[in-house]
Amino acid sequence: MAKYRAPIQSKASQIFDVIFLVILTLGALFVPLKMGLSGAAKTVAEPMEGATWEALGQTPAQAAQYEALGYTPESAHDLILARFDYSFTAGALIAMIVIIVAYYVLMLKFSESEYREVIAEKFDGK
Amino acid sequence: METWQLLEYAAWGVSALLGLFMVIDWLKTDTTYSEDVLTSSREGELEAMTEEHKI
Amino acid sequence: MANTDITSKEMDGMGPHGTVVGLLRVLGPAHVWALGVGIVLVGEYMGWNFAVGKGGAYAALIACWFAGILYTCVAMIDSEVTSTVAAAGGQYTQAKHIVGPLMAFNVGLYLTFAYTMLEAANAITAGYLISVVASMTGYAGELDQRPFIIMVIMFLAWLNYRGVLATLTFNLVITAIAFVAIIVLFLSTSGILGGGIMQHAALMEGHELPYGWIGVLAAMHFGLWYYLGIEGTTQAAEEVRSPARALPFGTLAGIMTLLIAATLTWYVCSGILPWEYLGDGVDGAVAPLFSAAQLSGSNALVWLLGIGTLFATLASANGCINDASRAWFAMGRDKYLPGWFGAVHPKYRTPYRSIIFLVPIALIFALGAPLDQVITFSILSGLLEYTFMPLNVILFRKKWPLNSIKRGYEHPFHPLPAIVLLCLCGITFFAVFLGYGTQLIAMIGFYIVVSLWFHFWRYRFVNRGTQFTMPWPKPQGY
């Protein structure tokens, strides 16, 4: 098998490749952020009027620690009652599984074909 | 002028100095040595010399 | 070394090619430990407590131990592969030799992003800590955190630029102090020395599993944070004096240290702080060990843990700069990235161009994105990498069975650790999906696009046979 000779990359092309990668990276980070799709926020389902430690479901021992931290029942209200929403649809779960599996399959397949070329040149191409 | 405001300016100054050091040294190195010397590092040098990988 | 024949025909593509300036081999096992633990220990000082918020204190403990199993598998697998493939780039170089070029390119990017994002998160936390110190010392105005964030990144980049030995010796000292601080806090609050203030039963009464069992699954997402980065020890492979011995030793000692530190941290924090407060890393306990020290009523402990928190963030950012630049450098050297990055500084013997290039990238993340977003990106890149590892080790054992090449360390019970690791990664993907599904998709979309770009464009600049540098026999089945 003929030995593959890689072309020398010009300076301009090298710079272009770096800029391309940086733009993609920043896009992956900031696009979900800008579209407001990021993060799982906690919300308070049922706000409570005139909260007390008992009404917030705190035992005296727990209330004592909150007071040591400088909280009152009012200021601790949001912190204690906010909860995550873990509901999801089966469709979204299946879509995620398909995407992850497809990604790894795609990668292993391409890698395998490139790897065979490497091994052939390294061990048989002398 | 409060101490913490001075510290803010000091932090800006230190950052600029360290950045400047790196950039100047980088440009100096790149112009002093040839690109062939700088990028002469190759993977697996030690393995080839010390390990036979045969049992 | 003396009987090496550099003109040997059999050693083509793996023998000395005439490296004039390469990375310096100066590190010992203690530096490997410091690099691994140094990156991770910040996870006990901040971030892990999001797991408490996700499912309650017990869920966080279960996640702590399951993530501990996940990382023990990671450390064992990594030790075996890297004690055999000892080169800068770590998992990237492993993937190149075992799975194939495209996988290697992806792994190299996982590494660079996981570490650069983590570095940014550390710099943000360090800036926040300095502002807390400012208000504690009576500064009335609003402290501008930006110069301190920039200074942290600049100082550590400068340290890395100047040489690896000083960098990791510095890491060894500050990591050891941060670890000792956790032990001291545990001893002085648990009742072993002086009066104990632990009240686990009273604080968890009525809040055992606030979300039920799905909360335990969800907690796995941030359970990774207890240990994320221990796999970075492999990046030092080319700078360690005796990689086949020092890397397994440093890595396995590191994971043991972290299992102890993580469990102690959970024990102290959940015994002092109510779970709703502990689990909210934004409005509640930003630095949970520090908060626990504040409730202990001892000024000495407050200062010790404050210093510990700051040192842990510095050690982590420092190790991240080291690891990210090694991965980037190794890809440049192979032309996976522009070859310009493959340069070594002739005097300091560091990959100086990669270090400088990653500084502005880290600054953009640190100054432009919120903390939880940055942490999630780091965790996701790490998770993709851990999913690659079991595939990697299964192929490694298949292509080069145990008696075909010499290994510095052989991990036991193969393929059990690989299968356990794969299952735990699946669970963690589900946990991430529960809270951050959009980011997960955005991230994988990004990797699919760059993979296509690499396969159809970038790979033409890579020489085929010469990138396989290990002096191994031909893999079985090829």
B24 touches C at CB < 8 Å: no
Contact predicate C21/B54, CB 8 Å: no
- pLDDT band at residue C2 using 50, 70 and 90 as cut-offs: very low
- Looking at residue C6, its pLDDT comes to 38
- The pLDDT tens digits for A85-117 are 888 889 999 999 999 999 999 999 999 999 999
The CATH class given to the C33-457 domain equals: mainly alpha
Domain of residue B7: give its range.
3-50
- Looking at residue C3, its pLDDT comes to 37
- Looking at residue C12, its pLDDT comes to 33
- pLDDT band at residue B50 using 50, 70 and 90 as cut-offs: very low
Phi, psi of C173 (to 5 degrees): -65, -50
Between C251 and C5, whose confidence is greater?
A: C251
Residue C115: CB partners within 8 Å, gap ≥ 6? C39, C229, C232, C320, C321, C323, C324, C327, C378
Contact predicate C270/C291, CB 8 Å: no
Q: Which residue of B has its CA nearest to C360?
A: B19
Res C370 pLDDT > 90: no
Of C262, C271, C258, the closest CA to residue C191 belongs to C271
Q: Please check whether residue B29 lies inside any domain of the structure.
A: yes
Q: For an interface test with C, which of A37, A78, A107 has the most C Cβ atoms less than 10 Å from its Cβ?
A: A107
Of chain C, the percentage scoring pLDDT greater than 90 comes to: 74
- Looking at residue C4, its pLDDT comes to 39
**Inter-chain touch C438–A103, beta carbons under 8 Å:** no
**How far apart, in whole angstroms, are the C-alpha atoms of residue A107 and residue C280?**
37
CA distance B22 to chain C (A): 7
Q: For an interface test with B, which of C7, C10, C14, C321 has the most B Cβ atoms less than 10 Å from its Cβ?
A: C14
**pLDDT mean over C203-229:** 92
Residue C114: CB partners within 8 Å, gap ≥ 6? C228, C229, C378, C381, C382, C385
**Inter-chain touch B2–C141, beta carbons under 8 Å:** yes
Q: Please check whether residue B55 lies inside any domain of the structure.
A: no
> Which residues in chain A show pLDDT less than 50?
none
- Looking at residue C18, its pLDDT comes to 58
CA distance B25 to chain C (A): 10
- The pLDDT tens digits for C261-290 are 999 999 999 999 999 999 988 888 889 999
Of chain A, the percentage scoring pLDDT greater than 90 comes to: 53
CB interface of C with A, residues 129-188, below 8 Å: none
* Other Cβ atoms within 10 Å of C22 Cβ, number: 18
B41 touches C at CB < 8 Å: yes
> Which chain A residues are within 8 Å of C440, Cβ to Cβ?
96
Q: How many CB pairs under 8 A join A and C?
A: 198
Of chain B, the percentage scoring pLDDT greater than 70 comes to: 78
**How far apart, in whole angstroms, are the C-alpha atoms of residue C229 and residue C379?**
10
> Which chain A residues are within 8 Å of C465, Cβ to Cβ?
3-4, 118, 121-122, 125
- Looking at residue C57, its pLDDT comes to 95
Contact predicate C248/C408, CB 8 Å: yes
Of C240, C252, C224, the closest CA to residue C88 belongs to C240
Between C8 and C97, whose confidence is greater?
A: C97
**Inter-chain touch C472–B2, beta carbons under 8 Å:** no
Q: Which residue of C has its CA nearest to B48?
A: C15
- Looking at residue B46, its pLDDT comes to 58
- Looking at residue C410, its pLDDT comes to 93
**pLDDT mean over C391-420:** 93
Per-residue burial over B4-42, b if 16 or more Cβ lie within 10 Å, else e, is beebbeebbebbeebbeebeebbeebeeebeeeebbbbb
- pLDDT band at residue B54 using 50, 70 and 90 as cut-offs: very low
Residue B46, both tokens:
């030690």
Of A32, A42, A104, the CB nearest to C438: A32
Q: Which residue of C has its CA nearest to B11?
A: C147
Name the burial class of residue A6, with classes exposed (0-12), middle (13-18) and buried (19+) by CB atoms within 10 angstroms of its CB: middle
**Inter-chain touch C161–B22, beta carbons under 8 Å:** yes
Of C100, C214, C475, the CB nearest to A86: C214
Q: For an interface test with C, which of B12, B23, B41, B52 has the most C Cβ atoms less than 10 Å from its Cβ?
A: B41
Of C158, C342, C345, the CB nearest to B29: C345
Contact predicate C67/C223, CB 8 Å: yes
> Which chain C residues are within 8 Å of A62, Cβ to Cβ?
202-203, 205, 274
CA distance B20 to chain C (A): 10
**Inter-chain touch C143–B4, beta carbons under 8 Å:** yes
Contact predicate C63/C55, CB 8 Å: yes
ipTM attached to this prediction: 0.90
Q: Which residue of A has its CA nearest to C431?
A: A86
- pLDDT band at residue C14 using 50, 70 and 90 as cut-offs: very low
Average pLDDT, chain C: 90
Of A32, A59, A112, the CB nearest to C442: A32
- The pLDDT tens digits for C238-266 are 999 888 889 999 999 999 999 999 999 99
Residue C450, both tokens:
């760059």
Q: Enumerate the domain spans of chain A.
A: 88-126
**pLDDT mean over C143-166:** 95
- pLDDT band at residue B52 using 50, 70 and 90 as cut-offs: very low
* Touching status, chains A and C (3+ beta-carbon pairs under 8 Å): yes
Q: Please check whether residue B19 lies inside any domain of the structure.
A: yes
**How far apart, in whole angstroms, are the C-alpha atoms of residue C46 and residue C287?**
5
Of C189, C128, C125, the closest CA to residue C317 belongs to C125
Average pLDDT, chain A: 88
Residue C372, both tokens:
């939880």
- The pLDDT tens digits for C217-233 are 999 999 999 999 999 99
Residue C415 preceded by cis peptide, ω within 30: yes
The single residue listed with the structure tokens 């550590």 is C156
* Touching status, chains A and B (3+ beta-carbon pairs under 8 Å): no
Res C85 pLDDT > 50: yes
- Looking at residue C108, its pLDDT comes to 96
Number of domains chain B contains: 1
> Which chain C residues are within 8 Å of B3, Cβ to Cβ?
139
B1 touches C at CB < 8 Å: no
